[in-house]
Amino acid sequence: MRYIDFVHLGYDPSEEDLICEFHVKPLGITIEEAAGGVAAESSIGTWTELTTEKPYVRELQARVFSIEGNEIKVAYPIGLFEAGNMPNVLSSVAGNVFGLEDIRRLRLEDIHLPSKLVDSFPGPKHGVEGVRRLLMVKGRPLVGTIIKPKLGLRTPDHAEVAHQAWVGGCDVVKDDENLSGQGFNSFEERVVQTLERRDLAEEETGERKAYMVNVTAETEEMVERAEFVEAQGGRYMMVDIITCGFSALQTLRKKGLDLVIHAHRAGHAAFTRLPDHGISMRVVAKLARILGVDQLHVGAVVGKMSETREEVEANIDALVGRMHGLKRVLPVASGGLHPGLVPELIEIFGSDFAMQAGGGIHGHPSGTEAGAKAMRQAVEAVLEGVGLEDYAEDHRELSQALRTWSAT
């Protein structure tokens, strides 16, 4: 079969087909040939005709059924994929095709898995509703922070910063993506000491609190760390899902732990950032949901990260839109956030999301506790329909925060 033999513009995909949407820029060939090359090389074809091909093999060919400009849609028969094997799916539809010489740029924009394939994965255990029940927070976004500086604090200081954030009003406190079990802050000691301060903060505030400890490591070690967190009374684990890999994430989810899975996307921009090459964050979000995360960073539009509003809204929809009965995943906004951005965040995300401010809390001139209070005050102002400047007249912490980051 030639590349062009994989183009079937009259084909009507079945309910059991896996559908991929690609942006393709050919190099020296037509868009039809390039599209056929994507479908061929990601299913049963290759660059030349084969003497080993059998007639029955053609039942498994992918088909390009739509070409509009540089946008193509490819339908893959479900028989190409092994149930419950996400690496197999990605090695097929997002594997060698990115290295084809005759394609200048290729981006996997969206993916739609059939329900039969989705059902072979666990999906979220808790989701939005489970997280809200766990933290007993209704009707408002979750307020969270990341311990800063992200690396270097010794264990007692790390636990103290977490305690101040919780007392100030944060619902959740998390490790940063590159804090693991370094000598200055060992994993086990950090879990024990920080959870002790969490319990103290709950007694002092009367609110439920959570610590998202980063368990990212080699797979077996990661499972052991998650089990340790649960044994110590933890409620959350955080996983760097890109750098540890989807297989490791799937293994962790299948262990049956009761911990909420907070998914960090560290490393995603290496392949999601270019608009015409790579894999979109929307695809990552869909696959993470299928594999079973409960919440995931999706960008913020405002702040220091690069994504547009259209991209962030697509990421959010991938987490909360209807998908074969899967629970909704809680979107997480992060990256350069501070109290002054809260109105825009709520306008973009609504109420079902978590806002994670690091420097925008710990950089408050009166310290971490005041920074957390300022974030909660900003949320209260929006929910009460009061402008931040007006609300700040009677709330010192918010007033200081607005002055500190007024030009940010």
Asked whether the CA dihedral 238, 209, 359, 389 is positive or negative, the reply is: positive
Burial class (CB in 10 A: 0-12, 13-18, 19+), 110: middle
In angstroms, the CA 49 to CA 80 distance is 20
| Nearest residue to 171 (alpha-carbon basis) of 258, 291, 295 | 295
Contact (CB, 8 A) for 317 and 353? no
Q: DSSP code of 149?
A: S
Residue environment code for 136-145, b if the CB has 16+ CB neighbours within 10 A, otherwise e: ebeeebbbbb
User: Is residue 148 among the annotated active site residues?
Assistant: yes
- What is the biggest distance separating any 2 CA atoms in the chain, rounded to whole angstroms? 80
Residue 96, CA atoms < 13 Å, CB-side half-sphere: 12
In angstroms, the CA 24 to CA 41 distance is 14
In angstroms, the CA 26 to CA 4 distance is 14
In angstroms, the CA 152 to CA 159 distance is 13
Both tokens assigned to 194:
């920080």
**Length of the chain in residues, anyone?**
408
Q: Which of 148, 163, 209, 395 is catalytic?
A: 148
In angstroms, the CA 105 to CA 34 distance is 10
Contact (CB, 8 A) for 40 and 6? yes
According to DSSP, the residues that pair with 296 across neighbouring strands are 263, 331
User: Is residue 209 among the annotated active site residues?
Assistant: no
Q: Which of 264, 268, 297, 373 is catalytic?
A: 264
- DSSP letters, 172-210, are EEE--TT-SS-TTS-HHHHHHHHHHHHHHHHHHHSS--E
Show the CA angle centred on residue 179, arms to residues 174 and 184, nearest 5°: 115
Preceding omega of 149 cis (within 30 degrees of 0) = yes
3-state helix, strand, coil in the chain (%, to 5): 45, 15, 40
By annotation, the residues acting in catalysis are 148, 264
